Chains A and B, each alone.
Chain A
Amino acid sequence: MSTIRRKDRDLIIQALSAGVVPRVGLQHIQVGRSQEVGALVRDIDRVADAGSAVRFVIGEYGAGKTFFLNLVRLIALERKCVTIHADLAPDRRLHATAGQARGLYAEAVRNMATRTKPEGGALPSIVERFVTECVREAEDARCPVERIIDRRLAPLLDMLGGHDFSTVLKTYWRAHEDGDDGLKAAALRWLRAEYPTKTEARQALPVRSIIDDADVYDTFKLLSAFVRVAGYSGLLVVFDEMVNLYKLQSSQARNQNYEQLLRILNDVLQGNVEGLGFVFGGTPEFLLDSRRGLYSYNALQSRLEENSFATEGRIDLSGPVIRLQSLSPEDLLVLLGNIRSVFALGDPAAFLVPDEAKTAFMEHCNKRIGEAYFRTPRNTIKAFVQFLSVLEQNPGTEWRELIGAVSPDMEEPEEPEADDELVDLRI
C-alpha cells in the first residue's frame, strides 16, 4: 500500500471515529469490490467523455451502499465532474404533484459538489465561474457579456426550459454588475428550484416559469449541459434510499415515479443525453418486490433483468444493476488491516498491533454484539479506531489488556434500525 500523507491520515481517522465516510483517502480503506468500483469508474469516464450512464446499486442494510455511493461521487469529482446527491424521502421523490419532486431537486442541488467544494453548495461557485469566464471572454472579444453568455448557452436553448435557465444566468450576471445581492440570491434561488410558485418567481426575476415537480429530470439534463459549458466534464446524479419509492402506498404514485426512472433509463441507455450519469442506491426489496418494487413495473424489469448467462460465478457488470453483498468477517478483517495501515502511514514497521490483535478484536466484538458486528460494522470500526488511538497516544500499553476494555457501543440492539442519519459509514 502506498504511503499516506499525514494530513489525509488525520482526516480519515477523524471521519472514521465520528462514524462518517472520510472525504479523502478512500483508496486506503476501500476493501474489495474492485470489479464494482471498476465498473463505476468506467461509467464516470463515459460520462466525462460526453456519454451517459445509469446504475442501480442494490445492497442490504449495512452492505456499504452509502460508502460506495460516496466513493463513486468522490471519484466523479476527481474526474472533474459535478455531482449532486440526495436521499429520497417521503417528501422527496422523482415524480410528484405537491412539490416533493421539486424538494428532491432542491436538496440535490443544495448538495451540488465539485472537486474544490466536495462538501456541497457548489452552485454559486459554478455559476460565478461560468459568468467570470464569459466576462473574460467578453473583455477579450470586446462585446457585451450577455451575448457571450447567450452564445455559450446556445445548446441549452434547444432543451426544455433552456430559455428561462439562460435568462436566470444572465440575470445573475446583471445583478453582480449592479451589486444587487438580492437579485443574485433570487437567481440562485430559482436555480435551486426554491420558488414554490410562478408568481413569486415572476415578481423577483424576469421569467415566467419555475422548476417544478414535472421538470426535475429535464432540469438535470439542463444542468448537465450547463456544467459542461462551464468547464466541467459532466454531471453525476446520486440518489440514495430509493426504497422510499417502494414504500409509496399509492400504486399510481409509485408507477409515476417508476415511469420517471424508465425515462431516465431509456434516455441513458439510448444515448440521448450527454455528460449525465445516474446512480441509484436501494435495498433488494426495492428491486425485487413483485408488487411494489422495480420488478412490478414490467418495462423496468425487462431492462434490469440480469444477464442470464452470468451464472455460476461469472459476473456481468454491463447490466444496470450492481449488487453489493454484505460484509463478511473476512472483509472486516481486511478493513481493520487497512485502518491499522492508515494509522501507521502505510509503514508496516509502525503497526500499532500485530495481526492477531485484529482477530482478537473481532472476536471480542462478536462476543459483545453477536453476528451483526460485521454486517453493520460502523461501530465496530469506530471502536477499532478509538482502540488504536489510545494505543498510539499511550505507548507501552498492552493491547491485550485494552481490548477487554473496548466496548463497541452496539449493545443497544435497536440502534442499527433506529437512526438513519448516522448511517453514513457502513463499511
Chain B
Amino acid sequence: MAQTEGWLSRVARRFGEIMSGASDTEATNTASTGQRTGAPMPQAGEGPANQYSSLPEGVKLGANGRYVSGGFSFSTLQQAAEHATRQAGPLATIPVGAAAPPRASASFVSRPSKAPSRWLGEKTQVAVAGRTVTISMVYYGTPSNYDAKHDKSRIDPSLAIDPRGDPAGATLTYWQSYDRLDPRARWTYLDWLEGGRADPKIPIGYVFVFFYGLEQRLLVDDGREDASAIFAEIRRLLSIYGEQYSFQGYASRLLALATIYETPDCDPPTAASTQSYDIELPLDVRVRLGQRLRDDLPFDADDALCWVLALPDVYLRTPGERCFDELLEIWRIRFSVRNPGGLRVRRPKSKIRYEYRAASGAFNTTITVDVPDISGTSAPLAGLRAILDGCMEDLAAYSRLLGREPESRGRLRGDLLLPLELRRGRTSLEACKNSLHAFVSEEPPTALELARALDLDVEPHTSKLSAILVRQMGLALDALDLGFEPDRRYGPSAALRSDARVALFPASLGGAVDPERPAYSAARGMVEVAMLAAVSDGTVASTEMEAIELRLRTMPDLQEHEIVRLLACGKALAADPPKVRAALKKLADVAPERRAALAASAVEAVLADGRVLPDEVRFLEALHAALGLPASALYSALHRSGEDAGPVEVLPATAGRTIPLPNEPAPSGVSINTARLERIRGETTQVSALLAAIFVEDEPEPAIAPAPKVSEVATAFAGLDTPHSGLLLRLISGPMTRDEFDAAAAGLRLMPDGAIETLNEWGFDNLGEPIVEDDDDVRISPDVIDQLEPMGVAA
C-alpha cells in the first residue's frame, strides 16, 4: 500500500516535471516584488537601519529595501558589496561577520562572477532580501545565469521575501525551487531554516527545497568533504519528516549513498530498513553486501536480514514491526542455526551501478561502485524469506498480546508467548517454572490453580475452562518445558473443569507425542483401564502406580517421553477418575488382539497393593465383560497373583549401546527355573519331614515287650482288655468268615465293628499299622502276623 503510494507519487512528480516545462522565474520575481511593496511590514519598514547597521562600506540601504552602491541598485547585499568592492579597488574579505568561510566556497568566491553562488556549510549570517538570517547548509547567491542543476535550492538574496509568511504552505506547488517560491513562502522557508530546520509542522515542500540543495552539494558539486554532515542532516530530517512518504523515499535514496561516502556501517538493521519503496535493492544494502562479497566474507545474520528486508516485496508485518527487537533476536538465532558459518553467496560479476535521480528533477547521476552487485542474486533468498516468515509467524501470538496489552512485554504472560529460542533465560519464566516445579512432585494442582500460576485470566465462577484458555495453558506449559495431562492435544479427554486435577511433568517443550501412534494409543488405553482398576477401591496406592509404570516400561516400542506422559495421564486419572461406565463403553472398539493385554494390565494394577477388594473385582468383571473376555480368566489371574512377582527392577533401564543377543538355543519348551526349583526342593524336604513326623511308620515299636512277664493271662496283648485279646487270639489262629466273627464277638459280649476298630487302634498304637483285615472274611494282616504270633503264644 505504502509503496504503491510512493510509486504513484513518483510518477506524478515526473509527469508534473515534464508538463511544467521552463521556469517562470521572472514572473515570480516581479510578483513577489509587488507584493512586498504593497504590504509593508512594520518590521521591514523600520528594520533596515538597525538591522544593517554594519553595512559594508559604500553600500547603502535604499528606501525601497534595495541596496545601493555607487549609484547602482542591487537586489542583494552581496551584489552591492561586491560592486562597492570593485569600486573601492583592492579585494576585501567577504563581508558579514560570519565565521571562517567554508572551504567549499572558495571556488565560487574565486569565480569572477558578479553573482557568486556559494555553499554555506557552517552557520553563516547572511542577508536575504534585506533580512539577516543565520543559516547553514544552503546555497546562497545570485548567479548571473540560471542553471536548473544548480539553482533549485539556492537562496537568492535578491529575490523578494514577504514577512507575512506562508507557514501553511498555501502557496506551495508540487515542484518547488527557491526562486519559484512565493515571497511569503520564502519568508517561512527562511524562518524554518533559521529555526534549525526542525519544525515538524512545516509543509514538506520547504523541506524539499532544502533537500535539493543537499543533493546538489553532494552530487553535482561533489562536495565530498561535506558528505558526512549532509548525511547526518538527512538522517535528522528523516527522523522528523520520515512520515512523509515522498520525502522518505527521496531522502532514503540519497541516504543510501552514504555507504559510498562513509565507511559502511555494519549496524544491525532497524525496523526502518524495510521501509524502502524502491523496486530495486537500496544502495546501502547492495554496497554492504557487495563489500562482503568483495572481501570474500560470508553474510552474517544482520547482513542477511538487511538483504531480505530490503527486498521490495518483503514487509515486516505487524508482529515484526511491533516486536522488531525480538524479531532481530530470533532471526539471529535461527539464521545461525541454519547457517552456522554464515551465508556464503557466489560472487556475481556485475558491479554496482546506481542511478540517482535527483529529487529536484534537475539531474540524474550514475554512480559506479567497484564492488560486486548482489541485486541479481536471488537463490538464497527463498530460504531467508522462509526464516523471516517463520520468525514473524512465531511472534504473532506475542505481538497480538502486546497489541492488546502493551504492558505485558517483559511479564510472564508475554514471555510465555515468545518463540522457544527467546524464552530461555527470561527471568519471569524461570520464576514461574520454579513455582510450578513444586506441583510436579506434589499433589497435582487444580486447573484453576494452574491457570492462575501461569498468569492467565480466568473468568471467575466458571466450572469449565474455555477451550481458548486451555490452549493458552498448553502453550504456556510447553514454553515452560512442562507437559500436562489431561491434554486434549494428545488424546481425548473431557473439557477441563476448573477443579479438575492437572498432572504436571517435566518434559522438553511439553513432551509432544503422537497420540495416533498405535503403540502409544494402545498404552494409553491400558493406562486408562489400569487406573480405573486402581481407583476402583477408592484409593490409589503407590504400588499400584508402580505396577503401571513397570508394565509401561516393559511395553515394547514405547519411548521414554511417552511413558512419562502416560504416567502423568494415570496420575491425573487417579486424582480425577472418569466415569467407569463411559470408559468401559469406549472399550468396545478395542482391537481383539489388544484386549487380553488391557485386561491383564488392569488386573496387575488391582493386585499391586496386595489386596483384592470386592469393588475392584466388580470393576474387573465389568471390564472383562466389556472386553468380551471370560470372567474365569480373571479369577485365575487374580488367584495367581501370589506367584512369583517377576524380576525386581533394581536400576531403571537405560538405553545404551545395543548388542545383538547371541542366538539363544531354541527354547526347548520346558524351561526350568533353577532358583525356583531349589526353593521347591527345599520346601519338599521340609514338608516331607513334617509329614514323616505325622505318619510315623518306621517304628518297629520296641513297645512289643517280650510277652512272658505278663502275668494277667487274658491280656497278653498289652493294652487290650480280655475280650478283645481273646478275639485277637481267635483271629491269629485262623481267618474267620464275617458271620463266624460276629458270633465270636457276640460270645465275648463285643460288637463286631467296634471290636475291629479297637483292635486296629491297638495295632496302630503298638505296631504302627492296622492288624485286622475285614474283606470277605476277617483275618489278621499277613504283614503283622509274624509279630503277633509270638505274643499270642506267650498268652
Contacts and interface: CB of A to CB of B under 8 A. Distances in A.
Contacts of B621: 289-291
Given A116-B760, A290-B621, A311-B610, A329 B751 contact: no
B663 interface: no
Given A116-B756, A284-B638, A296-B614, A128 B751 contact: yes
Size category of the A interface is 35 or more
Nearest to A8: B697
A340 interface: no
Interface in B48-81: none
Contacts of A308: 609-611
B668 interface: yes
B757 A2 contact: no
A31 B764 contact: no
Interface in A250-304: 283-285, 287-291, 295-296, 298, 301
B754 A131 contact: yes
A135 interface: yes
Contacts of B684: 30-32, 34, 334, 338
B303 to A, nearest CB: 67
A310 B611 CA distance: 9
B690 A116 contact: no
Contacts of B543: 311
Contacts of A323: 639, 642
A14 to B, nearest CB: 16
Given A30-B687, A305-B613, A325-B640, 18 more contacts: A2-B698, A41-B690, A78-B694, A116-B764, A124-B754, A125-B753, A129-B753, A129-B757, A130-B754, A284-B638, A288-B612, A308-B611, A325-B643, A333-B672, A334-B677, A334-B680, A334-B681, A359-B672
A136 to B, nearest CB: 7
B761 interface: yes
Interface stretch (B138-146, B404-412, B628-636): B628-636
B721 A128 contact: no
A241 interface: no
Nearest to A59: B639
A27 interface: yes
A328 B752 CA distance: 48
Contacts of A7: 783
A329 B751 CA distance: 52
Lowest 8 A-B CB distances belong to which pairs?
A128-B754, A311-B610, A27-B691, A116-B760, A284-B639, A284-B635, A128-B751, A125-B757
Interface stretch (A161-169, A190-198, A360-368, A402-410): A360-368
Nearest to A128: B754
Interface string A355-376: 0000100110011000000000
B691 A30 contact: yes
A78 B694 CA distance: 7
Contact of B753 (A34, A128, A287): A128
A124 B614 CA distance: 45
B750 to A, nearest CB: 6
11 contacts: A27-B688, A31-B683, A124-B753, A125-B756, A129-B758, A131-B751, A132-B751, A288-B635, A305-B611, A329-B670, A363-B669
Contacts, number: 193
A8 B757 CA distance: 22
Contacts of B770: 115-116
Interface in A1-34: 1-3, 5, 7-8, 24-28, 30-34
Of B614, B670, B680, chain A has the most CB atoms within 10 Å of the CB of B670
Interface in B635-665: 635-636, 638-640, 642-643, 645
A312 B671 CA distance: 24
B709 interface: no
Nearest to A291: B621
A176 interface: yes
B695 A74 contact: yes
Contacts of A392: none
Contact of B672 (A75, A131, A329): A329
A200 interface: no
A220 B761 CA distance: 23
B43 interface: no
A209 interface: no
B636 A60 contact: yes
B757 A116 contact: yes
Nearest to B749: A135
A313 B686 contact: no
Contacts of B424: none
Contacts of A114: 757
Given A30-B688, A34-B686, A330 B677 contact: yes
A6 to B, nearest CB: 10
B4 interface: no
B204 interface: no
A48 to B, nearest CB: 11
Contact of B642 (A136, A325, A367): A325
Given A33-B683, A124-B753, A326-B640, A367 B669 contact: yes
B618 interface: yes
Nearest to B754: A128
Contact of B617 (A25, A132, A295): A295
Given A32-B684, A126-B757, A131-B754, A283 B670 contact: no
A147 interface: no
B635 A116 contact: no
Interface in B613-629: 613-615, 617-618, 621
B110 interface: no
B673 interface: yes
Contact of B695 (A24, A310, A333): A24
Interface in A110-127: 114-117, 122, 124-127
Given A8-B697, A116-B756, A366 B669 contact: yes
A316 to B, nearest CB: 10
A362 B668 CA distance: 10
Contacts of B783: 7
A332 B786 CA distance: 40
